[in-house]
Chain A
Amino acid sequence: MANTNTTPSTNKIETNGSRQLKRMKMLIKEPYLLAIIIIIFVSLFVFSIYPIYQVFKITVVNDEGLLDLSLIVETFTSSFFLKTLWNSIQLGILSAIFGTIIGFIFAYAVTRTEMKGKKFFNLVALLPIISPPFVIALSVILLFGRNGIISNGLFGFDDSNVYGLRSLVFIQTLGFFPIAYLNLKGVLEAIDSSVEDAALNLGASRWKVFRTITLPLAVPGILSSLLLVFIKAIEDFGNPMVIAGEYQTLAVQAYLQITGMYDLRAGSFYAVALLLPSLTAYFIQKYWINKKSYVTVTGKPTQARMKINEKHIVLPLFIFCGLITGAVLLIYGTVLWGAFVKVWGVDNTLTLDNFKYTFTLGFDSVQNSLLLSALSTPITAILGMIIAFLIIRKQFIGKKLMEASSMLAFAVPGTVIGIGYILAFNQKPLLLTGTALILIIAFTFRNITVGIEAGTNSLRQVDPSIEEASTNLGASSFTTFRKISLPLMKSALFSGLVYSFVRSMTSISAVIFLISVNWNLLTVTILSQVEDASLGAAAAYCIILIVIILIVIGLLEFFVNYLSSSKRRSYR
Chain B
Amino acid sequence: MKKMILVLFSVLLMLSIVAAGCGSGSNTVSVYTAFPEQEVIVYLEAFKEETGIEVKHVRLSAGETLARIKAESSNPQASVWFGGPSDTFVAAANDGLLEAYQPEGVSNIPEQFRDVKKVWTPIYVGALGFASNSEWLEKEGLEPPQSWADLLKPEYAGNVTMAHPASSGTAYSIFATLVQLKGEQEALDYFLQLDENIRQYTKSGSAPAKQAGFGETGVGISFAHDILKPKHEGYPITLSFPTDGTGYEVGAVALIKGGPSDQAENAKKFIDWAISKQAQDLYADSGSFRLPVNPEAKVPEGAVKLSDLSVIDYDAVWAGENRDDLLDKFESYVVGKESVVE
Chain A contact residues, CB within 8 Å of chain B? 79-80, 83, 141-142, 145-147, 163, 241, 245-246, 252, 256, 258-262, 264, 267, 342-343, 345-347, 357, 361, 371, 374-375, 378-379, 419, 422-423, 426-427, 431, 433-436, 482, 512-513, 515-518, 520, 524-525, 528-529, 531-534, 536-537, 563, 566
Q: Tell me whether B38 and A357 are in contact (CB under 8 A).
A: yes
Q: Tell me whether B63 and A261 are in contact (CB under 8 A).
A: yes
Q: Tell me whether B200 and A246 are in contact (CB under 8 A).
A: yes
Bound form: Cα–Cα A340–B38 in Å = 19
Is B11 in the interface zone, CB < 8 Å from A? yes
Could you say which of B118-126, B211-219, B245-253, B303-311 contacts chain A? B211-219
Interface residues of B, count at CB 8 A: 62
Is B70 in the interface zone, CB < 8 Å from A? yes
Bound form: Cα–Cα A241–B164 in Å = 13
Q: Tell me whether B77 and A433 are in contact (CB under 8 A).
A: yes
The residue in A256, A262, A361, A374 that gathers the most chain B C-beta atoms within 10 A of its C-beta is: A262
Whole-angstrom distance between the Cβ of B13 and the nearest chain A Cβ: 11
| B18 cross-chain contacts in A, Cβ below 8 A | 371, 375, 436
Taking a contact as CB atoms closer than 8 A, the residue among A83, A262, A525 that contacts B63 in the complex is A262
Taking a contact as CB atoms closer than 8 A, the residue among A80, A261, A426, A524 that contacts B71 in the complex is A426
Bound form: Cα–Cα A498–B14 in Å = 19
Q: Tell me whether A378 and B7 are in contact (CB under 8 A).
A: yes
Q: How many A-B residue pairs have CB under 8 A?
A: 149
A422-B71, A533-B230 known; 17 other A-B pairs, CB under 8 Å?
Answer: A145-B216, A146-B214, A147-B215, A258-B64, A259-B62, A260-B166, A262-B63, A262-B67, A264-B71, A342-B234, A346-B236, A426-B71, A431-B75, A516-B77, A517-B77, A533-B213, A533-B233
Whole-angstrom distance between the Cβ of B253 and the nearest chain A Cβ: 16
Q: Tell me whether A517 and B31 are in contact (CB under 8 A).
A: yes
| A163 cross-chain contacts in B, Cβ below 8 A | 200
Whole-angstrom distance between the Cβ of B143 and the nearest chain A Cβ: 21
* 7 smallest beta-carbon distances between A and B, as pairs: A259-B63, A147-B215, A343-B234, A517-B56, A532-B36, A434-B77, A533-B230
Taking a contact as CB atoms closer than 8 A, the residue among A342, A427, A533 that contacts B209 in the complex is A533
| B67 cross-chain contacts in A, Cβ below 8 A | 258-259, 262, 264, 267, 513
Taking a contact as CB atoms closer than 8 A, the residue among A83, A422, A532 that contacts B37 in the complex is A532
| A-contacting residues, B47-64, CB 8 Å | 56-59, 61-64
Whole-angstrom distance between the Cβ of B221 and the nearest chain A Cβ: 16
Whole-angstrom distance between the Cβ of A158 and the nearest chain B Cβ: 9
Is B116 in the interface zone, CB < 8 Å from A? no
Q: Tell me whether B71 and A528 are in contact (CB under 8 A).
A: no
Q: Which residue of B lies closest to A379 (CB)?
A: B11
Q: Tell me whether A518 and B22 are in contact (CB under 8 A).
A: yes
Q: Tell me whether B37 and A513 are in contact (CB under 8 A).
A: no
| B277 cross-chain contacts in A, Cβ below 8 A | none
Q: Tell me whether A563 and B167 are in contact (CB under 8 A).
A: no
Q: Tell me whether B88 and A262 are in contact (CB under 8 A).
A: yes
Bound form: Cα–Cα A346–B135 in Å = 11
Interchain Cβ contacts under 8 Å between A and B, 6 examples? A145-B216, A245-B200, A433-B72, A435-B22, A525-B37, A532-B38
Whole-angstrom distance between the Cβ of B160 and the nearest chain A Cβ: 14
Taking a contact as CB atoms closer than 8 A, the residue among A433, A518, A524 that contacts B56 in the complex is A518
Whole-angstrom distance between the Cβ of B127 and the nearest chain A Cβ: 19
Bound form: Cα–Cα A452–B331 in Å = 47
Whole-angstrom distance between the Cβ of B341 and the nearest chain A Cβ: 13
Q: Which residue of B lies closest to A426 (CB)?
A: B75
Bound form: Cα–Cα A419–B64 in Å = 11
Taking a contact as CB atoms closer than 8 A, the residue among A343, A346, A518, A563 that contacts B3 in the complex is A563
